[in-house]
Amino acid sequence: MLYRRQEVTDTPATISLDSQYVLLQPSSAWGNVSNFACAEETTTNHFTNQVGAYGVFSFVGDRIVLNGIKTPAGGSLQITFGGGSQTFNQNLTSSSATSECAVLFDHNLVNGTHSVQMTLQAQDDTNRNSSTPELHLFDIQYFFPTIEPTVVPNTDTNHGFTSTSNIYLITLPIIFGFSFLLAGTLFAYKTVKRTIFRFRYPG
């Protein structure tokens, strides 16, 4: 037996850094290049090496992911939600002497509308010897919950037994009742028949 159950899943969506929904400032501090070595061919790398350069955007959902590149030059990415209600700092330094594609930031939130600002900061303690910090971004992913009806089999092993038991509980009294009624009718018929016979043939 099948029944419908509603399941909540997180649906991903992507915001392009070239879209009108993302503001990169100052615009003169940002550049872009395609076909970066560690990314897919269609990926555009938006980058800046100016401390204080930032990007702002908003989304509706419960999770945010920033994809980009970590480099030996490193730096720190400050992510601020809601004008300062939450602030995080992420190290942008690669784990080796070469650049590597990476998730720069991944954070779960309460589902709703969120405004975000991401700002390139000076080097932190792990890369303070670097001359210039770098921020490289591919795209912004956000996730929003959706409710989908799912048809699943009923795993209740007692379901069939319960249904059968209910049928027996309903039908057995009917059968017994009908049997008693039939027996009573036959008994009454025989009694009346004997009475009529005695009346017609007394003695």
134, 145, 157, 197 from 62: Cα distances, Å: 28, 7, 37, 93
In this structure, are 130 and 164 located in the same domain?
no
In this structure, are 73 and 128 located in the same domain?
yes
CB 153 within 8 Å of CB 2 = yes
User: What percent of the chain is modeled with pLDDT above 90?
Assistant: 41
In this structure, are 28 and 113 located in the same domain?
yes
Instruction: Report whether pLDDT(190) > 70.
Output: no
In this structure, are 72 and 112 located in the same domain?
yes
> CA–CA separation, 106 vs 104, rounded Å?
7
DSSP class of residue 29?
G
In this structure, are 144 and 192 located in the same domain?
no
CB 94 within 8 Å of CB 100 = yes
Other C-beta atoms closer than 10 Å to the C-beta of 141 total 18
CATH number at residue 68: 2.60.120.260
Domain total of the chain: 2
* Nearby residues of 149 by Cβ (< 8 Å), 6 or more positions away: 4, 5, 6, 7
In this structure, are 143 and 172 located in the same domain?
no
Mean pLDDT rounded to a whole number for the chain: 78
In this structure, are 13 and 59 located in the same domain?
yes
Instruction: Give the structural domain span for 41.
Output: 2-151
**Looking at residue 203, what is its pLDDT?**
55
16-25, 83-92, 102-111, 165-174: which range is least confident on average?
165-174
